[in-house]
Structure 1
């Protein structure tokens, strides 16, 4: 199937000439060490069609929207004015849309579950969210609840999520504001968490988080965001953990392709090899890889960290496995570090896939881990490669 698809990319007509490029911005990138810090005023306003500011949260006492980092987000007390600078980017590009993303993994699920299950709490959340968006000039709201029914949620979340989205849409559409959601790409979470037809009928776009299929939480190496299954995945019960399966599952479940936006990671998942003689897929591991110098998170490296590290050291071994679409690399002199990631070539394959499936476009998490300074070549090589392949650029 994969070989036929890759041949099809070369032969396919370039019918789609439009689409969306969604880019998430991690506000905490402002705190990265020198060389990796990234502020709202560093954003190229012509790079993406829609920008997403991550994150706001929920006040667990009032269930109103909560500003999580006033210093980064606001101008008060010498703050960085993140919200205002972010939405002001539209002055340079009037076609740009900016959205405030609420939620994220760190926010958890329990507070969202409680809020969604109570009419009064929903009203407080909707009213405060719409007010905050209007105050700072955002063009819409992106809800990233990870995940309904999961992580302390309840079975009723599946139905309550649709109710919440309908009430949010009613509060937003009066001023023509957008409503998008970020959703899981895992089959079992999808089954438990989402009424796909119900939510698809309400929202403007569904942002499918087709990454983190594998990582250092597993005892073996694998691809972070495999476009298709590895030939040995079925033997390990992993045949559902790939981009193609997730996209088709959402479409078959009732999500119109024109509303589905396919996620592409701008980072790699890292591991520490147990046996340096085993360096391919399914090599045994027991620890995450050492932290990157900017992201400072074990088990993860931003693309900007990785590509520059590969320039600095000729000890990296970069492998393009013929059975997969994404590269992996390892450097034994750095604690047996192994990383699966996307490069400009692999994201072009993914963008072509999204285009050929008739999807709305692509989204990245996150723009601040792209090579924004051009240390490895042209600036924003990952995002530019995606947009070029999807034919967003005229």
Structure 2
């Protein structure tokens, strides 16, 4: 009897673990319950192989789809392409499959799917295929495209950037408006491409004007920063925030409100990286309550937002209730390196991020998923490459680019793989965010996008939004 009980307990644990693993890699109910899985009655004709070989999935009938979910038994595929029936032209490509790969593409009709594995770390084995024809997941057309624009890049932008700027629903100016430890608002001077200095408030005013001209219907938000010592206070970033948002809270709120009124802004945002002490979160949250009351007292619907990271969603930092003070939050789903050194891959920086917030009870409609328009080296060095420099090389299916680089300290490094988010990955993340019910995406940052319509990530995101 005792032995039987032990066996049953072990079996229960194994079943529970298996269920948990399955649930962790499942397609969200909002998709699976709403749309028919057109691959449900199909089967693999070939499911194992090595680099250069293909898996073949037979749907058993002709189906019309615009979304596939692929899974493999082991996370070993590092580059693949998808083909319809006997076609030799891929309709989709990307890097990893792993535990969950969401593939978004233009509608296609097929009866068999060929998955060509271009490269892998060892012998691969496919696990499953799901197929959907998804539409109507943004019925109110209210999915947000929040593009951050540094004031320095805004001042330098010509008309060639207008199509990108106009594709956003919200623009967030950042990078030259700061507060001090005693809550003075300071417009920091910027350096022009010519090397000349430009007065900080003059630059800010010009940036506001250019954003309004490029996107007259968009919401214009401004991020107030406390991460720069402009007065020689010698304080750490966290301590400066604590003084400004604590002892000088009322002055800081009044100063921010004055800027909102003077420039007719649509919102206020914060990018506080990062409070770590319990006291700091208490000070920040009390300040935000006052800031919320102040913007609510202004005419119009003035927005209050902030950039946060998923690891901050804990009882000691931010609870879901704490975050209700914001109209929405921007989740910085980048610079989170995985086992391969990729800082913003689909699984870790999209799938897992949204699942984590949803599992904590956060309303995804109040979340903007961060998308990077830059690279990081796979060794984690402090270098941020610009997407526009390699846009043509990444188009349409690549995310990695081997390049030599110089870090922010002036150290030069030999060629190394840098991980970007290429057009297809940006499309997949955007489609997944929309289909899951997320409120929007956040783009960091607009100044590093390509202005060529073929390669522009922002214009691509707008097209994906329109297609869902």
- Fold shared, TM-score > 0.5 on shorter chain: yes
Q: State the partner residue of 1:260.
A: 367
Residues 1:27 and 2:27 aligned together: no
Task: Write the distance in 1 (CA, Å) between the matches of 2:131 and 2:148.
Answer: 27
Q: Secondary structure at the match of 2:437?
A: coil
CA 1:105–1:264: 2 relative to 1, 3 Å: farther
Residues 1:159 and 2:291 aligned together: no
Residues 1:148 and 2:267 aligned together: no
Q: Secondary structure at the match of 1:3?
A: strand
**1:267-293 per-position Cα deviation (integer Å, ceiling 9, x unaligned):** 11125xxxxxxxxxxxxx5x84xxxxx
How far apart are residue 28 of structure 1 and its match?
Answer: 2.9
- The answer to whether the 8 A contact 1:84-1:136 is kept is no
Listed as ranges, the matches of 1:1-394 within 5 Å are: 1=25, 3=70, 5-6=102-103, 10-17=132-139, 18=141, 19-29=143-153, 37-38=156-157, 42-44=161-163, 45-55=165-175, 56-60=177-181, 62-69=182-189, 81-87=203-209, 89-90=211-212, 93-103=215-225, 108-116=237-245, 118=246, 120-149=247-276, 154-175=277-298, 176-185=301-310, 187=311, 189-191=312-314, 194-214=317-337, 221-229=340-348, 242-271=349-378, 285=379, 288=381, 299-307=383-391, 310=393, 327-331=399-403, 335-372=414-451, 374=452, 378=453, 381-391=456-466
Task: Write the distance in 1 (CA, Å) between the matches of 2:205 and 2:328.
Answer: 22
How far apart are residue 39 of structure 1 and its match?
Answer: 6.3
Task: Write the distance in 2 (CA, Å) between the matches of 1:261 and 1:65.
Answer: 27
- The answer to whether the 8 A contact 2:369-2:441 is kept is yes
How far apart are residue 390 of structure 1 and its match?
Answer: 2.4
Q: Secondary structure at the match of 1:342?
A: coil
Task: Write the distance in 1 (CA, Å) between the matches of 2:361 and 2:186.
Answer: 33
Q: Which has the higher contact order (CA 8 A, sep 6+)?
A: 1
**1:10-32 per-position Cα deviation (integer Å, ceiling 9, x unaligned):** 4333321421100000223369x
- The answer to whether the 8 A contact 2:180-2:226 is kept is no
Task: Write the distance in 2 (CA, Å) between the matches of 1:77 and 1:332.
Answer: 35
User: Which one has the largest radius of gyration?
Assistant: 2
How far apart are residue 165 of structure 1 and its match?
Answer: 1.4
CA 1:78–1:327: 2 relative to 1, 3 Å: closer
CA 1:42–1:252: 2 relative to 1, 3 Å: same
TM-score (norm 2): 0.61
How far apart are residue 319 of structure 1 and its match?
Answer: 11
Task: Write the distance in 2 (CA, Å) between the matches of 1:208 and 1:345.
Answer: 20
TM-score (norm 1): 0.71
